[in-house]
Each structure stands twice: as C-alpha cells, then as structure tokens.
Structure 1
Amino acid sequence: MKPNHLFRAVAASFLAMAAPSAAQAPDRGFTIAVIPDTQNYLDYSHQREAGFPIDAREIFLDQMEYIARNARSAGGDIVFATSVGDVWQHGSRSMDAEHAAKGLKAIPNPVFGNYLKPEPRTLTVEMPTARAGYSILAGKLPFSVVPGNHDYDAVWSDSRWPATMKGNDPMRYGMLHYGGLDNFRSVFGSGSSFFKDKPWYVASFNGGADSAQIFEAGGYRFLHIGLEMAPEDDVIQWAQGVLKSHPGLPTIISIHDHLNIAGERKPIPAVDFDAVHKEHNSPEELWRKFIARNDQIFMVLSGHQHGQAHATDSNAFGHDVHQILADYQDRGQILPMIAPGAPKAALGDGWLRLMKFDFSGEVPTVSVSTYSTYFHSSSDRMTSYPALYKEHEKPAASDAAFGAEDRFTLTLSDFRERFAKAAVAAR
C-alpha cells in the first residue's frame, strides 16, 4: 500500500524540525527498533471503509517502511526490530476450549461489552494488515513479534470478578482474560514464511508464540528471546534451554507486559493472567524465576501499560538489567490535524522507539529515543511535544522531566567484562 500523502503533508507543516534518516552505521554502532502496541492502527473500525476519517493502517505501514528503509541492509543502522505485542485489536471467537474445560465462565461487562464480542473482521481486515506490514521487513533484517493480550483468539470478562464501577476500585472494570493463539500463529508462527528456515530464527515454542533470534552487531553476537504474556513454567523451561544452548551471549527479552508506568513489575489489575489461574507467572515471578537468575539477560523490553518507564535493577549476580516500557496507543493528536471536527480517537501517532547502541568507547551506551513516523521527528526535536501529550499522560511532570521519559541514555558499565566471550571478530 502506498503511504498516505495527506498524512505527510500535514505532518511536514507541523514540524518544528525534521529528523534526518538513519545514516550508514559505524562498525561499533547500531540501532534496535522497538515497535510498541499497534492495535489501534490495525483496528477495522479505524479505516475509511468503516467510516473513519483516515486509514489508520497507513500509519502502521509507514512505521514498517521507515524501519525497512533504515535497516543496515539498506544502508542504515537498524539491525533488529522487535514488536512488544498487541499487533491487532480484536479477538475472533468466544472462550477457547482449554479455558472452558477449566471451568471458567464469562459474564457481561458494562464497560467492554462491544470489545468482548467475537469480531470476524479481525480475520479479514486486521490480520491481513499485520501480515502486509511485517512483509515489508521480511528479508531486510531479523525481527521478532510476541503476542499481546489483544492478539489472543478470545477475550471475555471472568465471572469471579464482576465490574464494580466504583471509583478507584481495582476491579471497577472487572477482570478480562484471554485465550488461544491460533490467530497469532497463523501469521507469526514458526512455520510462517517470515521465520521458516531463517538462520537467525534459532528456536521456538508453542508454535512460535515464544521464539529466539540471533544477530551480530557492534562487535558482539546477541541473543533475543520473545516470550508470550505471563508465561507458564513450561515456557520458562524452554527459554532456559535456549540460554543453555547459547551460553554467554548478551540477551534481550521482549514480552508484552513487564513494567507499569511507575517502573514496577506489576500487572494492570483488570488484565492479570496470574490472578485468573496460577499456572501463569506474573512479571515479578518471571523476574525471580528466570530473568534475575540468568546473568546473560541484560535488557527487558515491554509495552501493554499505557505510557513510558524505565528501571535498572541488579540481578542475582549483582549486574544491571535494564527494563524499558514504551506504549503510545493512547495518543490521538493527529486525527484533529488531518480531519478537524472528527471525534477523538486514540491511535498512537506513529511513535516508536529507537535504541542506538554505541560500542566505540570504553563503556558502551544505549541512546534511547522516541520517533514518530507521522511527524518525521524524534520527541526531543519537537518543541510542541510536552504541549501535545503531557497533560494527558503525566500532568504533574515538568516539561523537562516529561521529555526525559522518551529520550535518555543507558550506560552499560558492566557489559564488556560480563560478555567478553561473546565478542566476535571484526568483519
């Protein structure tokens, strides 16, 4: 599909300063692109054929085009891309058989009633758009996609937690739960053309709901492991086996839910897989059982919880693990610019994360920036950035503090000693 030229025209007039495209990377520098929750772009109801003022899918496709254009294979410096889940919006069927067999029951929900209905256009509109988007990346660079809660086949409101509709009650919206990953596997499974027989796609589990990839950059060989949301113990055992098969490699984990916007490893109360049935591991349990116990894991990337946060904690070996949340799905400033008078709608405004690793110095660093393919700008280059988003997201923060959430630098102070054996010969 061709990019929407109206988007670009409006964006160009809005910019205070445009960001340059990624340049040819030096030998010791590279970028990882992190794709936050994209479900609002793919939502069937956010397209012109459904009466929406724009085709929101074009924003998603522009994101994919940007990554492909700036991939190392195209002369840029992006060597890997990872989606942190919630690729599309809707489920397509009622409760899956596995959960029904456990005795779970669905009840009506006064808040999410329409969202809980099986939606056939997930199969005919949303999933084909996802496939088209990631086809743009195929052959350009290694990438990973993990399932978010919206990518499950079924969603329902659990009968044990009815919505109270009371103020700050954690259960005011009830408890949503999700099941089945047949839809996800049909697009991103281990047998898909995206991953089958790719040398960099080195392992998978649950048909590709969990997967592992290898890439080389900055003088090191890296391992990436993508995990399903709130994984059960068998997934953790599989991931432990992947680490055993690739000992000592600096490892990045992508998972849909890990940090909240306060930088804590806590789930959203209304979407707590572990509360619904204890076979799941909460973010804190995953930290204790797996992440903190494996010294080669140095970074965790997540989405799901609306906003931004980052935290650095010491693992069981006293080494740093950098944990980063980015999710911009609530942002909806571009629609009034394109279609004045249109009802407000959360889309995401084209924002994604670019993590630029610099291994040229004695101590490696990661410069984390937030870039919009709609505005063609990073957040720190837009003078209007706080005015656009701060009031809705973090009204108590200063403009400087708000900006620092989306532009910061991590120091990998222990990296060279920790991963000396993963260094590869210069090419």
Structure 2
Amino acid sequence: MKLRHYYYLLICSLFIHSSALRAQEAYTAPKLSNPDSWSIILVPDTQSYVKFERNQGILETMTAWISENIDALNIKMVLCTGDLVEQNELLVPDKVNGNMPSRDQWRAVSHAFGRLDGKVPYILAAGNHDFGYKSVENRKSNYSQYFPVHKNLLNAKALRAAGKNIDGLPSVENATYELISPQERKFLFLNLEFAPRDTILQWANSEISKEIYKDHTVVLLTHSYLNAQNKHMEKENYPIADANYGKSIWEKLVAPSKNVQLVFSGHIGSPDNFRGHTAFRVDRNAAGKKVNQITFNAQAMGGGWHGNGGDGWLRIMEFLPDGKTVITTTFSPYFAISPTTQKMAYQRDDYNNFRFQLD
C-alpha cells in the first residue's frame, strides 16, 4: 500500500514538473501578427513605481523593454496615462505613501522615459498627482521642468501646438503631435491636462478643427475620463475650480468633433483587481464616426496601493495594415524577464486583450 502511494506521488510530481516545463517552453515574446503592422505602447500611471525607491527598477525594466522592441514591434508612439509621480511638491516623505521626495520621483520617471529619447516619440499625460502639493491642490506642476519638449528631439519634431499652463506659458501638458503611419494614415495626438480648464478645451477644439487636420484621426490622451463601470466621469472631489471631467470632456470636445476617434486615459484602480483598473466604451461623434474610449491602469496590482507599483503591465496596440483593425495585448516585461515568471507575462482576460475597429 505504501509503495503504491509512493508511486502515485512520484507520478503526480513528474506530471506537475512536465506541465511546468511545457508552460515555460510555451512562452513566446510579443510579436506582430502581421509584419506590416505598427504599434503604440500604452504605459499606465507610474506614480507607485517612483514613490518607493525599491520599485523604480520595474519602471526602468518597462521602458528598457520598449527600447529593445522598437524595431521588432515597429513602435511608432508611446503614451502614458499620467500621474507620473505620487506627489508633485513633497519635501519630506511620510514613508507610507512613498519614501522619496518629489524631486527624486520626478527624476526617476524622467530617467526611465529618457531611455526612449531620440528613439521613439512619447506623450505623457499630466494627472492630478502631478499638480499641487500631493494631489492637485492647485494647478502648479513640475511637469515642464522634467519633461520639456526638447528632452526628446522626436517629440519636438512631431509637436504641432502647445497650450498654456496656469502661468500662461506654453507647455506640453496640453499639446498636439502629428504622426503619419506606415500606411499613410494621418494621426493627430492631443494631450490634455488633468480635468482640463474651459480655456484648454476651447484651445483643443480650435486646434483639431483646423482645415489641415480635417482628414486626420485624432487621438485624445488625458488622465481621468472613464470609471470602472465604463461611464464618463461626472464629478470628482478635488479642490480646483474650472475643471472638466470625463462627461464634460465628452460633451464639450469629443462628441462635437468630426475627427476624434480614440481616447486613452488611466486614473482608476482597485487593489489587486485588474478589472477595476480598466474601462472601454464606444460612442459616435458628430460625424458619425466611432470613438473607441479606453481606460487602462495597473498601479494597485502587485500588492495594492503600497505594493510594487503595478507588476510591470503595459499594453501593446498593434495597428494592422488594413488601416482599421487594432489588436490590444496586455503584457508585463517585469514577469517576462525571468523564465521562472514568464508564464505570468500575459494577461489573459478578455477586457485586457481585445480587438477594435477604427472608421
């Protein structure tokens, strides 16, 4: 009886070991489904990576992976959904919500994205934590100091217009960038500050309505837009006036437009609940074109708000050569770096892996 039990355990052990080997062998690095495709990489909120010194290496791994895969994935643009830092102007960290003062947080995120300077353009939204002291107590920000347009010469080359910050100075907190895809489709990327002011929405509308952009596909990037129920944010309790959240952005800018077809945002999250970090909806603008609205964040994955910062998750958006189809894959370079964890490198749920169509 004991011998039979021993053989049973041995067989189970061999089965588990062989299954693990098969899972490890099954890992393949991300690749384009069509060699003529091109891609955009979407990076979620980075604040929890930079607020703790121990987490900063994960963000470096993410941007290093992007740098290494520019050619393989034909990456033409990198977007980040904002909240680049946990606190914009903190001198003494409380060791709970981070152990790094704001200057070091800004330096860390600037250094991580610096890996892409001169290699690929990147556009970073400014979130509520990127303003004020801790979280948008006012609209002052260190954004322009650490991300001036000339930091990445490819950004400067693509820049078409810059709005004015709260001090009345041009800043890429609000800006437009032009990109022509390999299939010659014209894109105009519009970056908007957190809860943009009315004057900024008016400026944005005037820019995207210009005759030279009537045939462009406008891609809007802003920090707060959809909630986890796939609804436009109506109101948030931040101490700023003249603020437009998701519903107002939709009503005042996106819906009346004839060329906004994509909206990306972040901001939302729930501890170790990926679904609570995401949202997706499709509406139509004034021209009857589909507007795919996508919210993606991950910052409370990997241990909640004070965990590792988000398990290294990012999204690969492959634009197929038909000019319409986009394949979205959610992937973690952090898990992919080691054979021990490669089996965890892809997020398998439908809400994190899907296709959508542009008009």
Which of 193, 218, 227 pairs up with 1:251?
218
Matched, 1:202 2:175: no
The one-character-per-residue Cα deviations of 1:36-62 (angstroms, maximum 9, x if unpaired) are 01111111xx22xxxxxxx31111011
CA distance in 1, matches of 2:312, 2:98: 27
Q: Tell me what 2:75 maps to.
A: 78
Residue 143 of structure 1 and its aligned partner are, at CA, apart by 1.3
Residue 185 of structure 1 and its aligned partner are, at CA, apart by 1.2
Runs of 5+ consecutive residues of structure 2 not aligned to the other structure: 1-20, 166-170, 270-276
Q: Tell me what 2:41 maps to.
A: 33
- Sort the Cα spacing of 1:24 and 1:323 in 2 relative to 1 into closer, same or farther, 3 A: closer
CA distance in 2, matches of 1:332, 1:118: 16
Runs of 5+ consecutive residues of structure 1 not aligned to the other structure: 1-11, 48-54, 95-112, 156-175, 336-342, 390-401, 416-427
Q: Tell me what 2:242 maps to.
A: 279
CA distance in 2, matches of 1:374, 1:15: 16
Letter in 1 for 2:180: E
Letter in 2 for 1:327: N
CA distance in 2, matches of 1:279, 1:225: 20
Alignment of 1:110-125 (within 5 A): 114=94, 121-123=101-103, 125=104
Matched, 1:263 2:233: no
CA distance in 2, matches of 1:31, 1:355: 5
The alignment's TM-score, normalised by the length of structure 1, stands at 0.67
Q: Tell me what 1:221 maps to.
A: 186
Q: Tell me what 1:152 maps to.
A: 131
Kept after mapping to 1: 8 A contact 2:120/2:154: no
Kept after mapping to 1: 8 A contact 2:178/2:188: yes
The one-character-per-residue Cα deviations of 1:329-350 (angstroms, maximum 9, x if unpaired) are 01116x9xxxxxxx97252000
CA distance in 2, matches of 1:345, 1:183: 25
CA distance in 1, matches of 2:316, 2:352: 10
The one-character-per-residue Cα deviations of 1:358-393 (angstroms, maximum 9, x if unpaired) are 133xx721111101011129xxx987689xx9xxxx
> Helix, strand or coil for the counterpart of 1:87?
coil
> Helix, strand or coil for the counterpart of 2:334?
coil
CA distance in 2, matches of 1:384, 1:215: 33
Residue 180 of structure 1 and its aligned partner are, at CA, apart by 3.3
> Helix, strand or coil for the counterpart of 1:203?
strand
Kept after mapping to 1: 8 A contact 2:335/2:344: no
Matched, 1:185 2:134: no
> Helix, strand or coil for the counterpart of 1:356?
strand
The alignment's TM-score, normalised by the length of structure 2, stands at 0.79
Residue 76 of structure 1 and its aligned partner are, at CA, apart by 3.4
- Sort the Cα spacing of 1:209 and 1:14 in 2 relative to 1 into closer, same or farther, 3 A: farther
CA distance in 2, matches of 1:40, 1:226: 22
| % identical equivalent positions | 23
> Helix, strand or coil for the counterpart of 1:60?
helix
Kept after mapping to 1: 8 A contact 2:118/2:154: no
Residue 254 of structure 1 and its aligned partner are, at CA, apart by 0.5
Letter in 2 for 1:376: A
- Sort the Cα spacing of 1:115 and 1:305 in 2 relative to 1 into closer, same or farther, 3 A: farther
> Helix, strand or coil for the counterpart of 2:137?
strand
The one-character-per-residue Cα deviations of 1:261-293 (angstroms, maximum 9, x if unpaired) are 1100115x6x434xx455111211110110111
Alignment of 1:26-425 (within 5 A): 26-27=35-36, 29-43=37-51, 46-47=52-53, 55-71=54-70, 74-92=71-89, 114=94, 121-123=101-103, 125-155=104-134, 177-190=136-149, 192-194=150-152, 198-205=156-163, 206=165, 207-217=171-181, 218-243=183-208, 244=210, 245-266=212-233, 271-273=236-238, 276-306=239-269, 307-332=277-302, 345-360=307-322, 364-376=324-336, 403-412=349-358, 415=359
CA distance in 2, matches of 1:385, 1:69: 17
